[in-house]
Amino acid sequence: MPSQPGGGPCHLRAYPISHEILRKPVSTDRFSFQGKARIIKIAEDMNAVVDSLTVCNFLFLAASLEEFAKAYTAITGIETSAQELIRAGERTVYQERIMNALNGFYAAHDDLPERFFEFGGTSGAGFDVPGLNREDFLQARARYYRIRGLDSNGIPLQHKAAELGLEWKS
């Protein structure tokens, strides 16, 4: 699940609302963890790019990484592509995970308050918002760790860090 500096989930690091509510770029069920691990990883990488470019998060809902790459090239004179930007975003997120690990943060900090599992959300006419299933959440977190290139405790792996050109001695 998305981690912020200091540990813990953060809705702005991945912002799955674009998939769940706006159905962009693909539609996903907001009440299911199915397929979310990969979506969260990709969204975190893209949002790291947007944050690094100091662009409003909401602008990303209207512009693509290709458009950001063209703007970056036009402004800086440095040729770049969407693929290079997404790789830079991946390095950024992984470096944050390294810094968090160095400060003692691990899987226990990538959790949700117990109330999310014990109580449902605010329901409306015609639908019910049940509490989350803890086992499903933990399985989704484990899938996210595999996709992100972390160990089962959420700690960066040396070979993944090296692949990204980052230094990490666990």
Reported pTM: 0.85
When the pLDDT of each residue in the chain is averaged and rounded to a whole number, the result is 87
**Phi-psi domain of 157 (left: phi exceeds 0; alpha: psi -120 through 50; beta: other):** beta
In this structure, the chain runs to a length of: 170
The 10s digit of each residue's pLDDT in 77-95 is: 999 999 999 999 999 999 9
- Contacts of 107 by beta carbon, 8 Å cutoff, 6+ apart: 141, 145, 152, 153, 154
Give the model's pLDDT for residue 89: 95
**pLDDT for position 1:** 43
Determine the angle formed by the axes of helices 82-102 and 65-76, rounding to 10 degrees.
90
Instruction: Quote the CA–CA distance of 82 and 85 in Å, as a whole number.
Output: 5
Domains and CATH numbers, the chain: 11-163 (1.10.599.10)
Residue 38 has pLDDT above 70, yes or no: yes
State both tokens at 43: 């969204």
**pLDDT-derived band at 23, boundaries 50, 70, 90:** low
Q: In this structure, what are the phi and psi dihedrals at residue 37, rounded to the nearest 5 degrees?
A: -60, -50
Specify the pLDDT at position 30: 76
pLDDT digits (tens, 9 = 90+) for 109-160: 999 999 999 998 887 788 888 899 999 999 999 999 999 999 999 999 999 9
